[in-house]
Amino acid sequence: MAKYAVIKQNYEFRRAYSKGKSFVSPYLVSYFFKKKYGGIRIGITSGKKIGKAVVRNRCRRVIREAFRSIYPELHGHWDIVFVARTATVYKKSTEIAAVMRKQFREAGLLK
């Protein structure tokens, strides 16, 4: 399994927010920005509204693990940004993966 790249720069997040297509659920907001090359890159954000640092980090870990389970099924060149919501705190990675898979299907990223 190939390793995915990580979005780290602020301008890359902003580009996905402004020019990307978004999909919303009570647990997760996903932004998909189509690229010409470079494979799949992901970025995960969680705001202070979710909770203190321990809670925000747990949300990011849960989202990352859910993405890892779906990653082999994806194709194309995309920047994907996930934004954790307050309900993400109470969910497990399998539940987040189901929501994520639905959003990927709507966006047309699944093989």
Tens of pLDDT, residues 49-102: 999 999 999 999 999 999 999 999 999 999 999 999 999 999 999 999 999 999
Alpha carbon 17 to its chain centroid, in Å, reads 12
Overall pTM > 0.85: yes
pLDDT at 4: 86
- The CATH code for residues 5-101 is 3.30.230.10
State the chain's mean pLDDT as an integer: 94
Q: Mind listing the pLDDT tens digit for each residue in 16-49? A: 999 999 999 999 999 999 999 989 999 999 999 9
Strand, helix or coil at 80?
strand
Given a contact cutoff of 8 angstroms between Cβ atoms, the answer to whether 69 and 97 are in contact is yes
Give me the residue spans of the domains in the chain.
5-101
> Angle 35-37-39 (CA atoms, 0-180°, nearest 5)?
90
CA gyration radius, the chain: 13
